[in-house]
Amino acid sequence: MSTNIIASTATKARPLTAAEISEIEHEMELYPDKQAVGLEALKIVQKHQGWVSDESMLAISKFLDIPVADLESVATFFNLVYRQPVGKNVILFCNSVSCWIMGCDGLRSHINDQLGVDFGDTTEDEAFTFIPVPCLGDCDRAPVMMVGDDLHRNLTEEKIDQIVADYRNKE
Ligand code: FES
């Protein structure tokens, strides 16, 4: 599964919530034009909705008065805008060179075995979505992954099991 799918098919916008509008308007005060607010608006909607549906994309387009195609381009370029539903927790798993040298392939297999998901998949209970990402900028402590906003370093199979258990216990 790619997290980005180009071309919205929605014909009806989902009304933005009051909180989403308020936060987008706040961003509009910080940026010189509406076009520049596009990415921030996508991130705001994703924070509130978990992902950016076609209906949400259309709503942002109408609200900012910018073409859906422009927003789609931003979402495609910024590949952490989720254009499909994701699990409650998103595992962003670095598979760039330092993490690869330090054995991330084996850890990927471990996650695959433990959670029954590979890159692009969401667990059956919708607790986790597993997504590969390029370097997370902490190469000297590879292998590295993020879950939500938390960075986890020097990963081992045991650490991953503990991290997964901790997130499950938060549910
Ligand atoms: S290569 Fe994985 S954090 Fe840099």
| For range 2-9, the mean pLDDT | 46
pLDDT at 10: 60
Angle at 44 between CA 43 and CA 50, to 5 degrees: 75
| For range 130-158, the mean pLDDT | 94
The 10s digit of each residue's pLDDT in 54-67 is 999 999 999 999 99
Peptide bond just before 143 cis, omega within 30 deg: yes
Q: What are phi and psi of 94, to 5 degrees?
A: -70, 125
The 10s digit of each residue's pLDDT in 74-84 is 888 877 899 98
pLDDT at 48: 94
Rounded Cα–Cα distance for residues 117 and 15 (Å): 33
The CA 67 to ligand 1 mean position distance, Å, reads 35
Q: Is the pLDDT of residue 149 over 90?
A: no
The CA 117 to ligand 1 mean position distance, Å, reads 21
Contact by Cβ (8 Å): 100, 139:
no
Task: State which amino acid sits at residue 107.
Answer: L
Band of pLDDT at residue 107, cut at 50, 70 and 90: very high
Kind of pairing, strands 128-133 and 89-94?
parallel
The CA 44 to ligand 1 mean position distance, Å, reads 27
> What residues does ligand 1 touch, defined as CB less than 6 Å away?
94, 96-99, 135-139, 142, 144
Rounded Cα–Cα distance for residues 5 and 53 (Å): 10
Match 């919708």 to its residue by tokens. 126
pLDDT at 14: 87
Band of pLDDT at residue 5, cut at 50, 70 and 90: very low
